[in-house]
Chain A
Amino acid sequence: MSESKNSDQSCVVIGASHAGVNFAFVLRREGWQGSITLIDIDPILPYHRPPLSKAYLTSEDGIEKNLLKSEESYKKENIELKLGVWVDAIDRENKKVVLADGTTLDYDKLVIATGARPIMPPIPGLDTAKNLFPLRSAADVANIRKTVVENEALKVVVIGGGYIGLETAASLKKLGASVTVLERESRILARVTAPEMSVFFQKLHADNDVAVLTEKNVISIENNQNKNTVVCSDGTRYEADMIVVGVGIHVNKELAEKAGLMIENGIQVNEMAQTSDPSIYAIGDCTFHHNIHYNRHIRLESVQNAVDQAKIAAAAIAGKECCYNAIPWFWSDQYDVKLQMVGLSEGYDEVVVREEADKPNCFSVWYFKGDTLLSVDAVNNAKAYVYGTKFIKGGEKIDKKKLSDPTAEFKPANLIAQ
């Protein structure tokens, strides 16, 4: 990329979390000489989000220990941060971003990395409940930590038995709270894992004295004399000094929608992370994109997707040929259990569970559609995660019988079908 080509150009990024920040730094590395401006409504320096419900919640660290990049790094790379700033509109015709105070920013390239926000379900009494928080931002964690510190023998109800809810439950238990998780479905993690995984995590929480209750549809929250009572449709009632809501997210697609970009289950982008407007890219949780390995359009809530799409968008803007071809991966830490996941299990018709001889609490769940390996959930078993990644990438056929035999040595040569 020649200097004359873009030194007078400006790139504006809306959203400064994993996707936006990584994009800005990679674009510089790709040789972009023009200005780069990162805008976010969150007023503090961009930080890692996954630890918020995990190690960061239980630590006493300030957010400065959890930053994506140091303040100096932005200066060094000449990346301008506009934090605590709300974007009102995208004016595509004049290639301007309109900020809440009415000022505008010109762009040659615009990147939308607006992510998602927690769903606050329309439950009567939710608005007036005391100490009720979602968990997505550093401010949410600050509120939760403050409540923990100010209340002895804190009773917590977590609404939602997904990863955020379960990680938060584990972390709050570690901080000494008494925790109940209420899940609407008949099993936890129902949307993302096989029943075998749900059973394992249900037991893990029970062993750690956290009540994880399923088929609990919360219908109202009563607040009397500063005490919350969470009421379920089956008539059961749960007292709570604090309520954490983790029932999923809404994509922040409104800006793109208002600007007339193509939207489906997220902002539509092609294999270069480009939207229906060639000057505008979208990356991270807010995008609806094609995954080449699974040959379908998906939306992903993950650091992996945020970082990989950031790299693709930066390369594309720098004029390189590129194509998004990543295999999704995720992780979750609860108590002393490390869960690593690779691939997408949706559409599986068979599950093979691999236990390891002499290693309790170390196993993996392999999801197949016919002979095709779709994904692997690895519990305390990085090896299974790594092999799964390699097999999915290579399209290997797996010997399911050997895979399920804990006495067969766990090594690729043993697992690949002859």
Chain B
Amino acid sequence: MAKITFITSDEETITLEGASGSVMALAVDNGVPGIDGDCGGVCSCATCHVHVAPEDMEKTGSASEIETDMLELDDNADEYSRLCCQIDITDAIDGVVLKVAK
């Protein structure tokens, strides 16, 4: 199990618990505003963009090549950006804080 905290663009804090699947699926299942996951999680739409808290980057890892390329669609992307359909939920990411991109 991993606890994951989302901070929405309205500064609302939502903490969810998940055991498997992607962070995007967990967010969509629980209606986290700003995470749409239109393509269903295959890194094709860039509608699940989050900024990982800098201190949590080690846990989530950084974006892959295709993610980095897709993130260029969004002018708000930075070095902490991830498409959260590409972050698997495992014990290793317990406690991470993700800011939903605007």
Q: Using known A-B contacts A50-B40, A55-B42, A66-B40, determine if residue A382 contacts B70 with beta carbons closer than 8 Å.
A: yes
Q: Does B91 contact A (CB under 8 A)?
A: no
User: Which positions 73-91 of chain A face chain B at CB distance < 8 Å?
Assistant: 73, 76-77
Chain B residues with Cβ under 8 A from A303's Cβ?
38-39, 45
How far apart are B35's CB and chain A's nearest CB, in angstroms? 12
Q: How far is the CA of A18 from the CA of B39 in the complex (A)?
A: 10
Please pick, from A307, A329, A383, the residue contacting B36 in the complex, using a CB distance under 8 A. Answer: A307
Q: Is the CB of B42 within 8 A of A331?
A: yes
A residues near B45, Cβ cutoff 8 Å: 303-304, 329
User: Is B33 part of the contact surface with A, judged by Cβ < 8 Å?
Assistant: yes
Query: CB-CB < 8 A to B36: which residues of A?
Result: 307
| B residues in contact with A390, CB < 8 Å | 72-73
With A331-B42, A333-B42: A383-B33 Cβ-Cβ less than 8 Å: no
Closest to B65 in A: A382
Q: Are A48 and B40 in contact (CB under 8 A)?
A: yes
CB of B29 closer than 8 Å to a CB of A:
yes
Set of chain A residues within 8 Å of B29, measured between Cβ atoms? 69-70, 72-73
Q: Closest CB-CB distance, A24 to chain B, in whole Å?
A: 12
The answer to whether B66 touches A382, judged by C-beta atoms less than 8 angstroms apart, is: yes
> Which one, A25, A48, A333, A386, contacts B70 given CB within 8 A?
A386
- Chain B, interface size category, equals 20 to 34
Which residues of B lie under 8 Å from residue A73 when comparing CB positions?
29-31
Provide the residues of chain B in CB contact with A18, threshold 8 Å. 38
Please report whether the interface of chain A is mostly helix, strand, loop or mixed according to DSSP. helix
Can you list, as one digit per residue, whether each of B68-93 has a CB less than 8 Å from chain A (1) or not (0)?
Answer: 01101100000000000000000000
CB–CB B72/A386 < 8 A: yes
Q: Are the CB atoms of B69 and A382 closer together than 8 Å?
A: yes
User: Is A304 in contact with B31, judged by CB distance below 8 angstroms?
Assistant: no
In the complex, the answer to whether A331 meets B44 with C-beta atoms within 8 Å is: yes
Q: Does B57 contact A (CB under 8 A)?
A: no
Q: Is B14 an interface residue (CB 8 A)?
A: no
Q: Of all chain B residues, which has the CB nearest A25?
A: B31
Residues on A with C-beta less than 8 A from B43 are: 382
Q: Taking the nearest CB of chain B, how far is it from the CB of A84, in angstroms?
A: 23
Given contacts A383-B69, A386-B69, contact A76 B40 (CB under 8 A): no
Q: Residues of A contacting B2 with CB < 8 Å?
A: none
Asked if A29 CB lies within 8 Å of chain B CBs, one says yes
Residue of B with least CB distance to A382: B69
Is B38 touching A307 in the complex (CB atoms < 8 A)?
yes
> Is B28 in the interface zone, CB < 8 Å from A?
yes
Q: Are B69 and A51 within 8 A (Cβ)? A: no
Bound state CA distance, A307 and B40, in angstroms?
A: 12
Q: How far is the CB of B68 from chain A (nearest CB, A)?
A: 8
Determine if B42 and A304 form an interchain contact, defined as CB atoms under 8 angstroms apart.
no
List the B side residues contacting A345 at CB < 8 Å.
Answer: none
Q: Report the nearest B residue to A18, measured CB to CB.
A: B38
Within 8 A of B (CB), among A369-408: 382-383, 385-386, 389-390
Query: Beta-carbon contacts of A42-58 to B below 8 Å, as 1s and 0s?
Result: 00000010110011000
A50 with B39: CB separation less than 8 A? yes
Measured in the bound complex, the distance between the Cα atoms of B45 and A246 in whole Å is 25
Cβ-defined contact, A29 with B33, below 8 A: yes
Judged by a CB distance under 8 angstroms, whether A287 is at the interface is no
Proximity bits, B9-34, A CB within 8 Å = 1, else 0: 00000000000010000001111010
Q: Are B69 and A304 in contact (CB under 8 A)?
A: no
Q: Chain A residues near B28 (CB, 8 Å)?
A: 69
Instruction: Collect the chain B residues with CB atoms within 8 Å of residue A385's CB.
Output: 69-70
**Which residues from 22 to 48 on chain A have a C-beta closer than 8 Å to any C-beta of chain B?**
25, 29, 48
Compute how far the CA of A303 lies from the CA of B39 in the bound complex, rounded to whole angstroms: 7
A340 within 8 A of B: yes
Query: How long is the Cα–Cα vector from A161 to B77 in the complex, in angstroms?
Result: 38
Of B38, B40, B72, B73, the residue contacting A51 (CB under 8 A) is B40
Pick from A50, A54, A382 the residue with the most CB of B within 10 Å. A382
User: Which residue, of B33, B43, B65, B72, has the highest number of chain A Cβ atoms within 10 A?
Assistant: B72
Cα-based distance from A54 to B44 in the complex (angstroms)? 14
Q: List 7 A-B contacts (CB under 8 A).
A: A50-B39, A51-B40, A69-B29, A331-B42, A338-B66, A385-B70, A386-B70
In the A-B complex, the 3 residue pairs with the smallest Cβ-Cβ separation, listed nearest first, are A382-B69, A48-B40, A331-B44
- Chain B contact residues, CB within 8 Å of chain A: 21, 28-31, 33, 36, 38-40, 42-45, 65-66, 69-70, 72-73
